[in-house]
Every structure is written in structure tokens, then in C-alpha cells.
């Protein structure tokens, strides 16, 4: 078995793993990033980026280059509620980037990896599926991965598991997350967008269905929230019935819904949220969805994974350079990130209970909506929590 040595081995090339790799490589720290897929292509896996991510990219001096990639800026969300229409204005966030930015996630990842590749301490292995941990003296000291039928080993001072919601690393380490919300399903699809369509993000709800519509420039990305396990019944009723449900929700788009003629144009994904009690063990740190799976409500998972990555780099860069990473450092990462994560997951859970569940059960509840509609400060808190997080995170170390 071929083996190589690095300072930090990161498992998972999603937003969290990619940003952490870039931050460490910039500071002259040897880092190896392992990604099981052979490309970054992924459909419907979160393309909405909030202000906090743009601020971090700006701090890296890369914002102008990032904005060369096709993207859309969204300045408000219009929520259709039983208490009437509520507008959430992202301008309420005090930021240089008071908007949502939608960018194809695969383009974003390619951009970050291309930037990281400029640093000689960065090593990136695609098509590398981690299958086991390397452990010695009750300490994780690397991983084994499979690539092209062969097995390899990476030994490292610290291993960071950034391998997402279905984390293999969690299972390998015997860590069990605590489930926080009842899972629901989301049906994802896209329809063309016309220049006369609204710019803002919006939702519509009616008869046990809720549809979120995200402006992606030339198309609308649409996510329909449904009760867990009801997709087979929707399919059984046929695609025309599905088109009709959509047309009742957004009548002005009904001609375009007719373009959905095959279930292959549609993806179904489970939405749930959970969190590990302890995000680390000797030699191993969990970040992003691997530590705290985020529901797509509010589209915050990328922010929080990237903020974890920034804090991880802030805390670990120096001890990695000096060769003295300890449990104290890993505990500090969890401490710095846990409260923000608990708050946003609590907020997501509240949104699910107050907004999504009543709609899916066809029980209109206006209390929460009335409060949000009435109080600007409440809308401001909602927008800030989602856009920047409870606590702003900034990169602390400078590149070598
Ligand atoms: C349908 C849907 C829509 C969403 N929309 C948004 C949105 O618009 N905005 C937003 O902020 N969040 C959104 N989210 C949440 C968001 O996608 C995640 O929270 C975010 O991607 C987490 O980043 P991460 O780096 O922790 O993990 P991930 O992005 O999940 O990346 C993990 C990586 O690890 C790799 N990996 C897994 N196992 C292994 C292994 N054994 N070996 C090697 N590599 C491995 C995976 O291939 C993957 O590339 C959405 C989630 C879903 C399900």
C-alpha cells in the first residue's frame, strides 16, 4: 500500500473542506484534500451563498475574481404567508455584500481549488474514497482511501472530517449525531426564467404544498417541500397532476411547468438536521455538515461549513506549524462554533414547526407570520442570523 505523510488531511472537498485546504496551504502548511468524486459536478446541492461567505472571499482578496463567474445577486425574499405578504430585505444586513449570491456550487469549488493549487503545500486527490481510519495508541493518525482499485494511506498530524451529511468518517469513528428535526423531503427542479420575471426569491404555499423559487439568472431553481415519504404517491398520480399542483401555486408560470415532462428532470432529497455532541477525538476534528447537518431551510449550510473552516484554520495553523496540535485546540474550535450552530439549528427547527409543518398538514397558523410581518426588528434578526450568522467569523492569519 502506498503511503504519504502530510500535516493535515482533509476528507471531503465540499465548501468546508475546500476552504480549509486553501486557508492552510496559503499559510505554508502541508495539506492533503481527499474527495471521493472525480468531479465537482452536483445538482441541487446548495448554490445560495450568503453575505458571510462573500466577506470571507473578500478577505482572501478573491471577490473580484469570484464575481467573474456567472452569478446572480438577490436583494430580497418575498414570503407568501397566511398573514399576507412579508418582504425580507437583505439590505438589513450590515455588510459590503447585503445580498444572497447564487453561484453554481461546482463552479465555486473549482474556483477555490484552482486558487489552492497555486500553493506548493496543497495536494488534492480526486476519486479518493476514504474507507478506514489509521489509528495508533488511541489516536487517529490518518486515513486509508481507495482510488482506481488500489488502496493508499495518508498519515497526518490532524485529520479533518468535512465529508458532509452522510459522513463516513463519523461512522468509522463511531460517532452518532443527535437528530434535531423531523425529516421532510424536498423535490428540486428548474424551469426557464424570463427577463420580465421578478428578481427576488419568493415562495408560494397552498393545499399542503410549499414551493420556494430561487432566481438563478436564466432559470428558476424550485424546491417543493413535502411530507417525508410522500414522493412515490406524487409520482403515482402522474406528472400532469404534479404540473397542475405547481400551476395552482404559481399560475403565472403554468406554461413553463408544462416543460416538466419526465421525473428524470426532478430530484428528491431528504432534509433533516442533526448535531454531534462532541466534534472531535484525538487526532480527528469534524466540521461542516459532518459535525452538524443543516436543513436546507434558510440555505445556510454552506455559510456554516465555511465559517467552521475559517475557525479551524485560525486555531490550527500555528500548532500545526509548531507540531503541537492538542485536544485543547480541537475543543476550542467546537467552543467557538457550537453556539452559533445551535442558534441557527434552533431557528431552522422553529421555521419548520411554525411555517413548513402547518402548511404540509394543511393547518394554517398565522401567529408566527403576524409577528414577523409586524416587527421589523424580528425580520432583521432573521435576515442577520441567516446572512452572517450569530457571530461574524474572520480569517486571522496572514499568508506566508
Ligand atoms: C437539497 C439541498 C439544498 C441545499 N441548498 C443550500 C443552499 O442553497 N445554500 C446553503 O448554504 N446550503 C444549502 N444546503 C446545505 C449545504 O449543501 C450543506 O450544508 C453544505 O454543502 C455543507 O458543506 P460541507 O463542506 O460540510 O459538506 P458537503 O458539501 O456535503 O461536502 C462533503 C464532501 O465530502 C465528500 N465525501 C463524502 N464521503 C467521502 C469519503 N468517504 N471519502 C472522500 N470524500 C467523501 C463528498 O463527495 C462531498 O464532496 C442544501 C442542502 C441540500 C440537501
Rounded Cα distance, 55 and 282, in Å: 32
CB of 296 shorter than 6 A to ligand 1: yes
The grid cell for 358 is: 402547518
Rounded Cα distance, 48 and 127, in Å: 26
User: Which DSSP symbol is given to 28?
Assistant: T
Rounded Cα distance, 175 and 109, in Å: 27
CB of 361 shorter than 6 A to ligand 1: no
Closest atom of ligand 1 relative to the 12 alpha carbon = 34
Residue 398: exposed, middle, or buried by beta-carbon count in 10 A (0-12, 13-18, 19+)? exposed
Buried b (16+ CB within 10 A) or exposed e, 145-175: bebeeeebbbbbbbbbbbbbbebbbbebbeb
Residue 27 — very low, low, confident or very high, per pLDDT cuts 50/70/90? Answer: very high
CB of 35 shorter than 6 A to ligand 1: yes
* The length of the chain, given as a count of residues: 400
CATH code for the structural domain at 2-180+272-387: 3.50.50.60
Mean pLDDT of 317-342: 96
Q: What's this model's pTM, rounded to 2 decimal places?
A: 0.93
Hey, how many other C-beta atoms are within 10 angstroms of the C-beta on 348?
Answer: 24
- Smallest CA-to-CA distance from 214 within 336, 298, 119 is with 298
Q: What residue ranges do the domains of the chain occupy?
A: 2-180+272-387, 184-271
Rounded Cα distance, 388 and 393, in Å: 9
Q: Poorest-confidence range of 31-45, 54-68, 99-113, 127-141?
A: 31-45
CA of 49 to the centre of ligand 1 (A): 13
Residue pair 153/140 in contact by the 8 Å Cβ criterion: no
Residue 41 — very low, low, confident or very high, per pLDDT cuts 50/70/90? Answer: confident
CB of 351 shorter than 6 A to ligand 1: no
CA of 164 to the centre of ligand 1 (A): 5
CB of 142 shorter than 6 A to ligand 1: no
Q: Please say if the pLDDT value at position 76 is more than 60.
A: yes
CB of 34 shorter than 6 A to ligand 1: yes
Closest atom of ligand 1 relative to the 129 alpha carbon = 42
Residue pair 122/25 in contact by the 8 Å Cβ criterion: yes
- For residue 28, list its beta bridge partners: none
For the segment 111-165, what is each residue's pLDDT rounded down to a tens digit? 999 999 999 999 999 999 999 999 999 999 999 999 999 999 999 999 999 999 9
Closest atom of ligand 1 relative to the 37 alpha carbon = 47
pLDDT of residue 43: 66
Rounded Cα distance, 317 and 323, in Å: 10
CATH code for the structural domain at 184-271: 3.30.9.100
CB of 186 shorter than 6 A to ligand 1: yes
Residue pair 215/196 in contact by the 8 Å Cβ criterion: no
How does the average pLDDT of the chain come out, rounded? Answer: 92
**Which of 9-23, 210-224, 341-355 is most confident?**
9-23
Rounded Cα distance, 143 and 210, in Å: 42
Residue with cell 482511501: 145
CB of 185 shorter than 6 A to ligand 1: no
Amino acid at each position: 500500500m502506498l503511503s504519504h505523510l502530510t500535516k493535515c488531511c482533509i476528507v471531503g472537498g465540499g465548501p468546508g473542506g475546500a476552504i480549509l485546504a486553501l486557508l492552510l496551504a496559503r499559510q505554508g502548511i502541508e495539506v492533503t484534500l481527499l474527495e471521493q468524486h472525480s468531479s465537482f459536478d452536483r445538482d441541487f446541492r446548495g448554490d445560495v451563498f450568503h453575505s458571510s461567505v462573500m466577506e470571507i472571499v473578500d478577505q482572501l482578496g478573491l471577490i473580484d475574481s469570484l464575481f467573474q463567474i456567472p452569478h446572480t445577486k438577490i436583494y430580497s425574499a418575498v414570503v407568501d404567508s397566511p398573514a399576507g405578504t412579508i418582504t425580507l430585505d437583505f439590505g438589513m444586513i450590515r455588510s459590503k455584500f447585503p445580498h444572497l449570491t447564487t453561484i453554481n456550487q461546482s463552479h465555486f469549488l473549482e474556483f477555490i481549488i484552482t486558487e489552492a493549487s497555486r500553493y506548493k503545500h496543497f495536494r488534492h486527490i480526486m476519486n479518493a474514497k476514504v474507507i478506514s481510519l489509521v489509528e495508533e495508541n488511541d489516536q487517529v493518525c490518518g486515513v486509508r482511501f481507495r482510488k482506481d482499485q488500489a488502496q493508499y494511506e495518508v498519515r497526518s498530524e490532524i485529520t479533518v472530517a468535512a465529508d458532509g451529511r452522510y459522513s463516513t468518517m463519523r461512522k468509522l469513528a463511531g460517532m452518532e449525531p443527535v437528530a434535531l428535526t423531523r425529516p421532510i423531503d424536498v423535490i428540486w427542479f428548474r424551469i426557464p426564467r424570463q427577463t420580465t420575471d421578478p428578481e427576488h426569491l419568493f415562495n408560494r404555499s397552498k393545499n399542503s404544498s410549499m414551493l420556494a423559487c430561487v432566481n438563478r439568472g436564466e432559470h428558476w431553481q424550485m424546491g417543493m417541500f413535502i411530507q417525508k415519504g410522500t414522493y412515490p404517491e406524487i409520482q403515482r398520480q402522474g406528472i400532469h397532476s404534479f404540473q397542475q399542483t405547481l400551476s395552482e401555486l404559481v399560475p403565472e408560470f403554468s406554461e413553463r411547468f408544462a416543460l416538466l415532462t419526465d421525473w428524470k428532470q426532478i430530484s428528491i432529497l431528504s432534509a433533516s438536521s442533526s448535531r454531534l455532541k462532541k466534534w472531535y477525538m484525538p487526532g480527528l476534528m469534524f466540521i461542516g455538515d459532518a459535525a452538524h447537518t443543516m436543513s436546507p431551510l434558510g440555505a445556510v449550510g454552506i455559510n456554516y461549513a465555511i465559517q467552521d473552516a475559517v475557525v479551524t484554520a485560525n486555531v490550527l495553523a500555528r500548532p500545526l506549524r509548531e507540531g503541537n496540535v492538542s485536544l485543547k485546540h480541537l475543543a476550542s474550535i467546537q467552543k467557538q462554533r457550537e453556539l452559533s450552530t445551535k442558534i441557527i439549528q434552533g431557528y431552522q427547527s422553529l421555521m419548520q414547526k411554525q411555517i413548513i409543518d402547518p402548511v404540509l398538514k394543511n393547518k394554517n397558523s398565522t401567529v408566527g407570520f403576524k409577528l414577523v410581518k409586524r416587527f421589523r426588528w424580528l425580520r432583521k434578526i432573521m435576515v442577520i442570523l441567516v446572512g452572517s450568522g450569530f457571530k461574524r467569523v474572520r480569517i486571522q492569519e496572514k499568508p506566508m
